[in-house]
Structure 1
Amino acid sequence: MKTPLSSSSSPASSSSLSSSLRKTRLSPYLFALLSFIVFVSILYGEDLVCIFGQQRQLRPTSPRPGPRTEQRKSGASGGEPVIPFAIGRGEEGCDVFSGRWVRDESARPSYEESECPYIQPQLTCQEHGRPDKDYRNWRWQPHSCSLPRFNATLMLETLRGKRMMYVGDSLNRGQYVSMICLLHSLIPEGSKSMETFDSLTVFTAKDYNATIEFYWAPFLLESNSDNAVIHRVTDRFVRKGSINKHGRHWKGVDILVFNTYLWWMSGVTVKILKGSFEDEVKDVVVMSTDDAYRMGMKSLVRWVQKNMDPKKTRVFFTSMSPTHGNSEEWGGEPGDNCYNQTTPIKDPNYWGSDSRKSIMQVISEVFSKSKVAITFLNITQLSNYRKDAHTMIYKKQWSPLTPEQLANPVSYADCVHWCLPGLQDTWNELLFAKLFYP
């Protein structure tokens, strides 16, 4: 290994230095000290450079190489790769999305339902009479490592002067509310607020000049289900190439967390509008669910590449949130669903509906071609085990229940959404891990 130090240190240069030192009439002791430094530099300079170089490579805060969905950008000087917001690196060879649920009453729940006033009444299971509490006491344990402990102070300090936004449907809104519940207790009562402006909900931490926001866009693209309140339409249309309709509200955000899945799954096909919703005669094509979803993911990738700065911002995508509408999938009785389920599925190979696999393949295929990193939060498998964590019948109902429904709770159990506190707090712990320790 050649270094500038060793290549410039020759006998001739040493002689020249000695002559210069004699001319300046330095003391014999100082002359001897300088001569010794020059000698050590000539003899060991190359070794010292290598040692210091290795020490720099071993610094604990330098991020390790990871999957293609992680941002890896070298500095202008060709030094270590830098990932925005990262303060360390994850454990080598650790897949935080592969693991098992362990009961942990000492660390769960992360907060009490009654202590977080921001939870929608559709997710407050204890308030609506759920008799058991065990669903709150499970902690996700990766097989070969441990998740970093969620640090609310670090999260808030990181968000100082910044915007964080969740974009998607009601499942992403649940994750959004979970994040606020994990943080809000550190913020004085008079220094926080939550406001809703049509599709946008904004939680403000005033002392931090920070906002955590949720934007309702169940397809990400423009659709006839974009009204944040009145969106329960049976004949759904998605407008092709229309992501900028919503995307203009996402610009300038420092941390973006997307999700979209459930609304694409209303059938085996999706109606795609090629023109405008204002057209008198609408040009509509019918696409398979996989092809339509692929179109949506490509639109997202193009928007991210055009509008997000990989040196300053982070983009996450939360994978499919599973449902538990058919108990036969996990060996239950025919006709049952998540209602009255109180324990997780223990089979490590349980997957659920095969339709989810094809959608996961679409995401992998499209994201792998992205020129800007999108960090994939693979919550699907770990959430598949949690048939016990849904809101079931313990929530505010949108409309009065009929006597027939009341006589058969399975018929109206919600096996899509999740109680808070609960599973979605783990989703945010995984987000925390990938944000700070990629």
Structure 2
Amino acid sequence: MENRGGVQISPPIVEEVGARRRNTSGREREQSCGDRWLCMRRRSSQRPPRTIEKRRSRVSAKRGQWRRVGGCGGAAPSPWRRRGDKGVAVRSMLIPLSTKEEEEEMKKTIVGNIVMKPSPSPSSSSILSPSLLLALILSAVVIYSSGFCYISRLYDHHPPIPLAVHFKMKTRERLPFAIGEGDGNCDMFGGRWVRDYDQPPYEESDCPYIGGQLTCLGHGRPDKDYRYWRWQPNACSLPSFNATLMLEELRGKRMIFVGDSLFRGQFTSLVCLLHRVIPPHAQSMETIHSLTIFTAKDYNATIEFYWMPFLVESNADDPKMHKVDHRIIRNAPIGRHGQYWKGADIILFNTYIWRGSLEDEAKETVKVSMEDGYRVALKMLIRWINENIDPNKTRLFFVGLSATHQRSSKWGGAPKGNCYNETAMIEDGRYMGVERSLFPIIEEELSKSAVPITFLNISEVTSRRKDAHTSIYKAYRRPLTPTQRANPIPYADCIHWCLPGVQDVWNHLFFAKLFFP
């Protein structure tokens, strides 16, 4: 077990933590071994093939020495044996050598962990010595337990690679930041909410970064039941959210959320989940126009939020003056904004509320449907991604459609109600609360990206949670008048979510997909 930032991590996890940092060429792996250079590797269908550690394994002509024969693939090789003991190490089994001639004969007959009888020659005896017979028997056991291996040529000028470096050698198929593999048969976005009184993971009053738009209890919400739930996928379980592990993996890295005010809630949720394990003096938050930056100083890591509600240029790009009567998006390259995202190690995108017009290159404005405007935005985003993102360095995520609950009649409630005064979930699983027509557009446009994009489908996660919106328990630019409070339904916010709450689960899903894709 290795201790990383207070988290006990087993060697397989340590092995996969560094997977993105080093690769070897397929040409080198395909070359066969010479008589002198011995190695072997396991073929596994359950995970990507691993590169082979380069070793220099000299067979000493001196009596009384040990030599090392490597293990398969990524398996930890047997330790180097000390001089003065007698034998050959095949994985963890030791085979004694009696003479220099027998040692030379063993060199010719052991290939990886496979021990074969040498071809007879006119000068060789037809009867094996006891030590070679023992080697045959023991190595047969190794073959049975280790699987088949193949041979690769190793070069004399390469010294043995330390074990810690060996753990980092992987193939390029593994995504950046992946430290394990999730259950490929499990849809973690399909599931149910289950009661859990160990929630919430933090208190509203303990996180100084929650803005007034999300502090429901602080603005007089009388009930707390909406906080005591967790998401349970149907066919599997989510890995536990580990703040220390995430910070360790973000050491020296930069993560950025790009989107609207709803997405700012997820950014704030993640900051609250992480800030608990950081000393107060080692964290800070600052806002520079459209960019808000949370810094974990001891980790040299930043988590950022960039205000861009439509992911393309629009007349709502000013983070303080975005309340406009008629929203207009521009069909133009997004490089002016994208320059602030370029170079980030993890980027999450989101855009949602789509109503307005499109301004073309000739500055002519035409009204467009929600679907057409959404498609234009995704096309421009994918074009920027293909031109600016290195898939070997950066992980990309697109967060899907969050349910709204603005008309209670759609889920069988009051004819003129909404989320106001709702304290229980929707029981009818047919309600979605999102624009279903956008799903095929998301699938079609994201598939055109040359860089892998992980889609976080939060629609079902949010569809039943009419009880968890901020409603009227939030800060308004202009506080509600007594008359408005007497009839609060038209003023209830049924889009944004209270924190702590539903958006903590979004980050739990993000954690699982980031580290266990």
**Bin for the TM-score computed over the shorter chain:** 0.7 to 0.9
Shift of 1:31: 2.5
Shift of 1:24: 10
Inter-partner Cα distance in structure 2 for 1:222 and 1:54: 56
Shift of 1:396: 1.0
Q: Residue type of the partner of 1:186?
A: V
The change in CA–CA distance for 1:196 and 1:54 in structure 2 (over 3 A counts) is: farther
Shift of 1:235: 1.3
1:307 corresponds to = 388
Deviations 1:82-107 (A, max 9, x none): 1100000002301110100001012x
2:178 corresponds to = 86
Matched, 1:297 2:388: no
The change in CA–CA distance for 1:258 and 1:49 in structure 2 (over 3 A counts) is: farther
Inter-partner Cα distance in structure 1 for 2:423 and 2:329: 37
Secondary structure (helix, strand or coil) at the match of 1:386 reads coil
Secondary structure (helix, strand or coil) at the match of 2:246 reads helix
Deviations 1:342-367 (A, max 9, x none): 122233333235xx111111101111
2:485 corresponds to = 406
**Residue pair 1:176, 1:214 contacting (<8 A) in 2 also:** yes
Inter-partner Cα distance in structure 1 for 2:200 and 2:501: 7
Secondary structure (helix, strand or coil) at the match of 2:305 reads strand
Matched, 1:32 2:113: no
Shift of 1:221: 0.8
Deviations 1:409-428 (A, max 9, x none): 21211101000000000000
Aligned pair partner of 2:419 in 326, 338, 341: 338
1:209 corresponds to = 300
Secondary structure (helix, strand or coil) at the match of 1:231 reads coil
**Residue pair 2:63, 2:100 contacting (<8 A) in 1 also:** no
1:397 corresponds to = 476
1:369 corresponds to = 448
Shift of 1:52: 4.8
1:102 corresponds to = 194
2:366 corresponds to = 285
Shift of 1:30: 3.8
Shift of 1:369: 2.1
Q: Percent identity?
A: 53
The change in CA–CA distance for 1:132 and 1:79 in structure 2 (over 3 A counts) is: same
Shift of 1:80: 6.3
Shift of 1:34: 4.4
Gaps of 5+ in 1: 10-20, 57-76, 277-281
RMSD (Å) for aligned C-alpha atoms? 2.9
The change in CA–CA distance for 1:24 and 1:161 in structure 2 (over 3 A counts) is: closer
Deviations 1:62-93 (A, max 9, x none): xxxxxxxxxxxxxxx99462110000000230
Deviations 1:169-197 (A, max 9, x none): 00110000000000112111111111111
**Residue pair 2:345, 2:394 contacting (<8 A) in 1 also:** yes
Secondary structure (helix, strand or coil) at the match of 1:391 reads strand
Q: Larger RCO: Structure 1 or Structure 2 (Cα < 8 Å, ≥ 6 residues apart)?
A: 1
The change in CA–CA distance for 1:48 and 1:317 in structure 2 (over 3 A counts) is: same
Matched, 1:416 2:416: no
2:272 corresponds to = 181
Inter-partner Cα distance in structure 2 for 1:337 and 1:294: 29
Inter-partner Cα distance in structure 1 for 2:385 and 2:372: 20
1:115 corresponds to = 206
TM normalised by structure 1 equals 0.83
Shift of 1:39: 4.1
Inter-partner Cα distance in structure 2 for 1:349 and 1:404: 36
Secondary structure (helix, strand or coil) at the match of 1:186 reads coil
Shift of 1:220: 1.1
Inter-partner Cα distance in structure 2 for 1:211 and 1:24: 56
Which protein has the bigger helix share? 1
Secondary structure (helix, strand or coil) at the match of 2:276 reads helix
2:312 corresponds to = 221
Q: Residue type of the partner of 2:404?
A: T
Shift of 1:32: 3.0
**Residue pair 2:62, 2:100 contacting (<8 A) in 1 also:** no
2:234 corresponds to = 143
Shift of 1:53: 6.3
Shift of 1:341: 1.1
Inter-partner Cα distance in structure 2 for 1:6 and 1:53: 21
Shift of 1:247: 0.7
How many matched pairs?
A: 392
Inter-partner Cα distance in structure 1 for 2:210 and 2:471: 16
Deviations 1:25-84 (A, max 9, x none): 99963433543564453358999789656799xxxxxxxxxxxxxxxxxxxx99462110
The change in CA–CA distance for 1:25 and 1:189 in structure 2 (over 3 A counts) is: closer
Matched, 1:241 2:320: no
**Residue pair 2:201, 2:273 contacting (<8 A) in 1 also:** yes
Inter-partner Cα distance in structure 1 for 2:361 and 2:140: 67
**Residue pair 1:3, 1:46 contacting (<8 A) in 2 also:** no
Inter-partner Cα distance in structure 2 for 1:195 and 1:81: 37
**Residue pair 2:332, 2:361 contacting (<8 A) in 1 also:** no
Gaps of 5+ in 2: 1-29, 38-58, 65-96, 118-135, 151-168
Aligned pair partner of 1:317 in 370, 393, 398: 398
Q: Residue type of the partner of 2:184?
A: E
Inter-partner Cα distance in structure 2 for 1:349 and 1:7: 67
Inter-partner Cα distance in structure 1 for 2:345 and 2:172: 22
Secondary structure (helix, strand or coil) at the match of 1:375 reads strand
Q: Residue type of the partner of 1:99?
A: G
Secondary structure (helix, strand or coil) at the match of 1:148 reads coil
Secondary structure (helix, strand or coil) at the match of 2:351 reads coil
Shift of 1:145: 0.4
